[in-house]
A and B are shown apart, each in its own frame.
Chain A
């Protein structure tokens, strides 16, 4: 596997279900991100992890729970979601090298298309 992978690619769940999204990066990067992309809305940053530590939580509801066990893996645990949470969830990673943060390019996975019934 190369780049950033995400599983599953498609997920349909009921509002009472619990599911998890998985992201894995094979680029040797140190930062990982979760984004939500809804129709007709800009890309929304949800969480940022740098060196396994959460550094940003963009006022995300607690029904979304991230987990970053190491720099290569990122999970998004989902429970009691609402239909408005239906969206494309994108994972990204970046090198996060020293202070050169303006040049820190993000590389994205293919996304998980989530439908909440």
Chain B
């Protein structure tokens, strides 16, 4: 069965510092995709970054990068130079085959608070 684990229910970071949000996953299939989403208090889930299981390099999108360690089955999100607007819930997700379909699996999320 597919599983995403986010062990940090809450994280605090000082403005302008970097922060790492942890995500581990479990799948037996070699082909899968990993995603990170940001959910501000307004509710909308905003897509941040994607990493494919066959990608050789870690994905980067502006201040976001994904630290992909395939052997350890981890896909941590790194936010550099944190901003106050980064305060939100962050969800890790995976799409992997399960019974012939690719149903998305989400973690429980990590609440990030950025202090001025």
Interface size class of A (residues with CB under 8 A): 20 to 34
For residue B33, which residues in chain A have a CB less than 8 angstroms away from its CB? 102-105
Report whether B47 and A104 are in contact in the complex, using a CB–CB cutoff of 8 Å. no
Could you tell me the distance between the alpha carbons of A104 and B95 in the complex, rounded to whole angstroms? 8
What mask results when residues 29 to 53 of chain B are scored 1 for a CB within 8 Å of chain A, else 0?
0011101010000111111001011
Could you tell me the distance between the alpha carbons of A107 and B45 in the complex, rounded to whole angstroms? 8
For residue B31, which residues in chain A have a CB less than 8 angstroms away from its CB? 102
Contacts known (A102-B96, A103-B52); A108 close to B45, Cβ less than 8 A: yes
Q: Check B81 for interface membership: any CB of A closer than 8 A.
A: no
Chain B residue nearest to A42 (CB atoms) is B108
Chain A residue nearest to B49 (CB atoms) is A105
Report whether B102 and A105 are in contact in the complex, using a CB–CB cutoff of 8 Å. no
Could you tell me the distance between the alpha carbons of A111 and B32 in the complex, rounded to whole angstroms? 27
Report whether B43 and A101 are in contact in the complex, using a CB–CB cutoff of 8 Å. no
Could you tell me the distance between the alpha carbons of A102 and B91 in the complex, rounded to whole angstroms? 17
Binding site for A on B (CB under 8 A): 31-33, 35, 37, 42-47, 50, 52-53, 91, 93, 95-97, 101-104, 106-109
A sample of 10 more A-B contacts (CB under 8 A), given A106-B93, A108-B45, is A48-B103, A55-B101, A90-B43, A92-B45, A101-B102, A102-B95, A103-B95, A104-B95, A106-B47, A110-B42
